[in-house]
Amino acid sequence: MAYSKKLLDHYENPRNIGSLDKNDDGVGTGLVGAPACGDVMKLQIKVGEDGIIEDAKFKTFGCGSAIASSSLVTEWVKGKSIDDAAGIKNSEIAQHLALPPVKIHCSVLAEDAIKAAVSDYKVKQGVGEKKIKAAE
Amino acid sequence: MHEQIKQVPRSRPANDSGIVVCWSCKGPVESGVLFCPVCEAVQPPGQLDHFFRLGLEVSFDVDQKMLDRRYFDLQRHLHPDRFATKTPRERALSQSQATSLNQAYEVLKDDLGRADYLIHLQGAEVPEGCNLINDQKLLMESLELREALAKAKTAVEVDALAGRAAGDIETCVEQLSSLFAADDLEGACRLATRLKYFRKLAEETRQARARLVDG
C-alpha cells in the first residue's frame, strides 16, 4: 500500500510525543481506543487562561496511520481555541494525510481523542469553579 | 458412505423447519446435511450458524478435540478427489461447502473469534473497523503496559510482560465462559474487548522478543 509523504513524515518524525501533567487543572487529557486493532491513543492539551491551546502532546500505541493522525492533531490544535480544536473533523485529518479507506478509523480515533481532551479540560474547569464557589 | 455425517447431532434454531429441497433429485433434505440421502448429491452450504454447521451446541465452552474431530470428519467428505468425476455444479458446491466449513472452524476454534461470534449471534454488533471504547480503566492499563514494553530493554523485562499478558488472557477466557453461561452479554462484550487488548499486548511482546534476539 502506498502511503502519502505527509503520512510517512508524521510517522517517521512524530511531533509532540510525550505527556503533560494530567493533574494540572489547565491540562485536558483524552484517552481513547479502537479495540478492533488494539490501539490506544492519549492526547493532552495545555490550555492558557485565554482559552487558547498553548501546548499539546500525544502518545499512541497503534499503527502508523494512528500515530500520524494524532501527531497531526497535536500540531493543528496549538494556538487554536478549545472550541475550534474540538471542531476538527476526522475527514480533514484523513484528507490531509491521504489515509487509505481501511485506515479512516485512525482519523476517527484522533478526532475522538481531541474531543475527549477538550471535554476533560472543561469538566476540570467546571469542577474548579464549583470548588471556588463552595469555598466562598 | 455418508452414514457418519447423518449421525452428527445438531442443535437447530427454533424457527427453522429444517427441511429444504434437494437441487438434484427435488426430494426433501434436512438442511445442513452435506449430501442428499437419496441421490447422494452434495448440497449447498446454506445459511447455518457456525455451531450448527459443525454439529456443536451453541456455547462458549467448546471441546477443542470434538471440534477438530467434527471438522476433519466433515472436511474429509468434501475432498476435491471425491468430486473429480462429478458434474461442475457438484464440484462448485463441494468447494463452497468446504469454504463455509473452514470459516466456521476458524471462528470457533479461536477463543476471541468464538466470543465475538456468540455476541453477534445474540444480536449485539461487533464492528470490525472502528469501535471506540470508553473503558478508561482498561485504556489506562493498556497504555501503561504498552509504555512499559516500549521501555523494556532486556529479555527478562519483555518476558515478564509476556507472562502478564498470558495470565490476563487466561483469566479473560475463564470469565467469558461464566459470563456467557450466565447470559451476561454486556459483561461478555467488556471482557471480549479486554481480551483483544491483551492479545495485542501478547503480540507486541513477541515482536519485541524477536527484535531482542535479532539485535
Judging contacts by C-beta atoms under 8 Å, the chain A residues touching residue B143 are: 31, 40, 42, 59, 61
Look up the pTM and report it.
Answer: 0.82
Given this model, what pLDDT does residue B47 score? 86
Residue B3 has pLDDT above 50, yes or no: no
What average pLDDT score do residues B187-202 get?
Answer: 92
Given this model, what pLDDT does residue B166 score? 97
Is A31 part of the contact surface with chain B (CB cutoff 8 Å)? Answer: yes
Distance CA B68, CA B72 (A): 6
B175 sits in the region (left: phi over 0; alpha: psi -120 to 50; else beta) called alpha
With a CB cutoff of 8 Å and minimum separation 6, the contacts of B189 are B119, B124, B126
Last residue of a domain, one of B109, B125, B153: B109
- How do A39-47 and A27-34 pair as beta strands? antiparallel
Q: What is the per-residue pLDDT across B60-119, written as a single tens digit (0 to 9) for each?
A: 999 999 999 999 999 999 988 899 899 999 999 999 999 999 999 999 999 999 999 998
Interface contact flag, A40 B143, Cβ < 8 Å: yes
* Same-domain check for residues B27 and B103: yes
* Same-domain check for residues B102 and B147: no
Residue B118 counted as domain residue: no
Q: Which B residues in the span 146-205 are in contact with A, Cβ-Cβ below 8 Å? A: 146-147, 150, 193, 196-197, 199-201, 203-204
* Same-domain check for residues B57 and B94: yes
Last residue of a domain, one of B109, B124, B146: B109
Residue B4 counted as domain residue: no
* Same-domain check for residues B148 and B96: no
Per-residue pLDDT band at B186 (split at 50, 70, 90): confident
Buried b (16+ CB within 10 A) or exposed e, B165-183: beebbeebbebbbebbeee
Last residue of a domain, one of B64, B93, B109: B109
Q: Which B residues in the span 108-137 are in contact with A, Cβ-Cβ below 8 Å? A: 127-136
How many domains are there within chain B? 2
Residue B204 counted as domain residue: yes
* Same-domain check for residues B52 and B99: yes
Neighbours of A102 (CB within 10 A): 10
* Same-domain check for residues B104 and B143: no
* Same-domain check for residues B28 and B84: yes
Task: Kindly report the CATH number assigned to the domain that includes residue B90.
Answer: 1.10.287.110
Per-residue pLDDT band at A47 (split at 50, 70, 90): very high
CA distance B143 to chain A (A): 6
Residue A41 three-state SS: strand
Task: Kindly report the CATH number assigned to the domain that includes residue B179.
Answer: 1.20.1280.20
Residue B128 has pLDDT above 80, yes or no: no
* Same-domain check for residues B190 and B148: yes
Judging contacts by C-beta atoms under 8 Å, the chain B residues touching residue A32 are: 132-134, 139
Judging contacts by C-beta atoms under 8 Å, the chain B residues touching residue A90 are: none
CA distances from B63 to A11, B111, B143 (A): 44, 12, 34
Residue B90 counted as domain residue: yes
Q: What is the per-residue pLDDT across A50-97, written as a single tens digit (0 to 9) for each?
A: 999 999 999 999 889 999 999 999 999 999 999 999 999 999 999 999
Distance CA A89, CA A42 (A): 18
* Same-domain check for residues B23 and B102: yes
Q: In this predicted model, which residue has the larger pLDDT, A3 or B44?
A: B44
> Which among B177, B206, B192 is positioned nearest to B138, based on CA atoms?
B192
* Same-domain check for residues B141 and B104: no
With a CB cutoff of 8 Å and minimum separation 6, the contacts of B30 are B18, B19, B20
Given this model, what pLDDT does residue A36 score? 78
Q: Please, are residues A65 and A99 in contact by the beta-carbon 8 Å criterion? A: yes
Catalytic residue among A17, A31, A34, A37: A37
- How do A39-47 and A53-61 pair as beta strands? antiparallel
CA distance B157 to chain A (A): 18
Residue A121 three-state SS: helix
* Same-domain check for residues B99 and B34: yes
Given this model, what pLDDT does residue B6 score? 36
Cell output for A101: 479507506
Interface probe for A, chosen from B116, B132, B134, B203 (most Cβ of A below 10 Å), is B132
Residue B131 counted as domain residue: no
Mean pLDDT of chain A: 91
Q: Say whether A63 is catalytic.
A: no
Residue B84 counted as domain residue: yes
Q: Say whether A106 is catalytic.
A: yes
**Across chain A, which distance is largest between two alpha carbons, in Å?**
61
Q: What is the per-residue pLDDT across A87-111, written as a single tens digit (0 to 9) for each?
A: 999 999 999 999 999 899 899 999 9
Interface probe for B, chosen from A61, A107, A112 (most Cβ of B below 10 Å), is A61
Residue B8 counted as domain residue: no
* Same-domain check for residues B73 and B149: no
- Domain carrying residue B92: 19-109
Helices (H), chain A: 5-12, 64-77, 82-86, 90-97, 104-135
Residue B20 three-state SS: strand
